[in-house]
Chains A and B, each alone.
Chain A
């Protein structure tokens, strides 16, 4: 089970290097989907059941979808993938930097991956993180109300600033 965590952590690093090196936004969004999927796997290996689900639904199903169709605004005829020379240079630089940092900072532990502590054995549905999120509804009710009001405010801010007639944020268009 700890080998699964090793593989997922490696997938996290690969995906985040793929996002941070400068490909076209199509491919960066795909790398971010991979990173979020693998990150959910890491959370499941550590005993979470509700938080990875929330992450999949809200982040992937809400925010990444919006980013994916906003990528139509940055369309170009020849998008830069990871096979492009300048993107490959960024990938090489980031892999070198990450490798050096891992060697320096993790060298004290045994081996390259060190000791990974995880919860193997049972796979339950009702875990602790669900109770923690329930606490947000219970004692953290006012924070929930504030968060909801903040989101509503953001909705109106976005609406007003994209409106393009005389009193909006884009007056020229």
Chain B
């Protein structure tokens, strides 16, 4: 594996592991989702740049647009949690209790 591929793959996996082992705040889980999206943007942009397949440069733009959708939905959930539970602590989200 080349160092570039290793870097953004490790970046993605670190974000995923940070999302798995979250601790307290919902916002930090959302930030790790954003770091995963960042690594995907880097990966697709480097695909377009290194292999000189220029039409693939549309993929990072569209991925960025749709990840803005997901980030806004996550922030909406954060605001809803803060309004109903008072804070965004993950241990307050225990209505399901299973």
Q: Is B7 an interface residue (CB 8 A)?
A: yes
What 0/1 pattern do residues 48 to 64 of A give for CB contact below 8 A with B?
Answer: 10010011001100111
The answer to whether A19 touches B17 (Cβ under 8 A) is no
Give the residues from 51 to 82 in chain B that come closer than 8 angstroms, CB to CB, to chain A.
52, 54-58, 60-62, 64-69, 71-73, 75-76, 78-80, 82
- In contact, B54 and A131 (Cβ under 8 angstroms): yes
Bound-complex Cα distance A129 to B16 (A): 28
- In the complex the two chains form, is B32's CB within 8 Å of A19's CB? yes
Shortest Cβ distance from residue A161 to the other chain B in the assembled complex, whole angstroms: 6
Kindly state whether residue A7 has any CB partner on chain B within 8 Å.
Answer: no
Are B38 and A173 closer than 8 Å at their CB atoms?
A: no
Residue in contact with A55 in the complex, picked from B3, B64, B72, B80, CB distance below 8 Å: B64
A124 to chain B, nearest CB (A): 13
B4 touches A116 (CB 8 A): yes
Q: Is the CB of A169 within 8 A of B80?
A: yes
Q: Is B54 within 8 A of A132, CB to CB?
A: yes
Smallest CB–CB gap between A97 and chain B, Å?
A: 8
Q: Once bound together, how far apart are the Cα atoms of A94 and B21, in whole Å?
A: 12
Q: Does A101 contact B (CB under 8 A)?
A: yes
The answer to whether A102 and B6 have CB atoms under 8 Å apart is yes
Contact mask for chain A residues 1-20; partner B; CB cutoff 8 A; 1 contact, 0 none: 00000100100110011011
Q: Is the CB of A25 within 8 A of B27?
A: yes
With both beta carbons as reference points, the residue of chain A lying nearest to B81 in the complex is identified as A73
Count of A-B residue pairs with CB < 8 Å = 215
Chain A: interface size category? 35 or more
Asked whether A164 lies within 8 Å of B66 as measured between CB atoms, the reply is no
The answer to whether the Cβ of B97 comes within 8 Å of any Cβ in the partner chain is: no
Interface centre among A22, A106, A150 (most CB of B within 10 A): A22
Q: Give the distance in Å from the alpha carbon of A44 to the alpha carbon of B38 in the complex.
A: 15
Residues from chain A with Cβ under 8 Å of B80 in the complex: 161-162, 169-170
- List B residues 32-63 near A (Cβ within 8 Å): 32, 34-35, 38-39, 41-42, 45-46, 48-50, 52, 54-58, 60-62
Q: Which residues of A contact B65 (CB under 8 A)?
A: 147, 150-151
Provide the bound-state CA to CA distance between A62 and B69, in Å.
Answer: 12
Tell which of A12, A32, A158 touches B7, judged by Cβ atoms closer than 8 Å.
Answer: A12
A67 touches B6 (CB 8 A): no
Q: Which residue of A lies closest to B41 (CB)?
A: A55
Q: Does the CB pair A132–B25 fall under 8 Å?
A: no
Known: A74-B78, A151-B69. 8 other contacts (CB 8 A): A9-B7, A43-B45, A64-B34, A70-B79, A90-B21, A129-B48, A135-B57, A147-B65
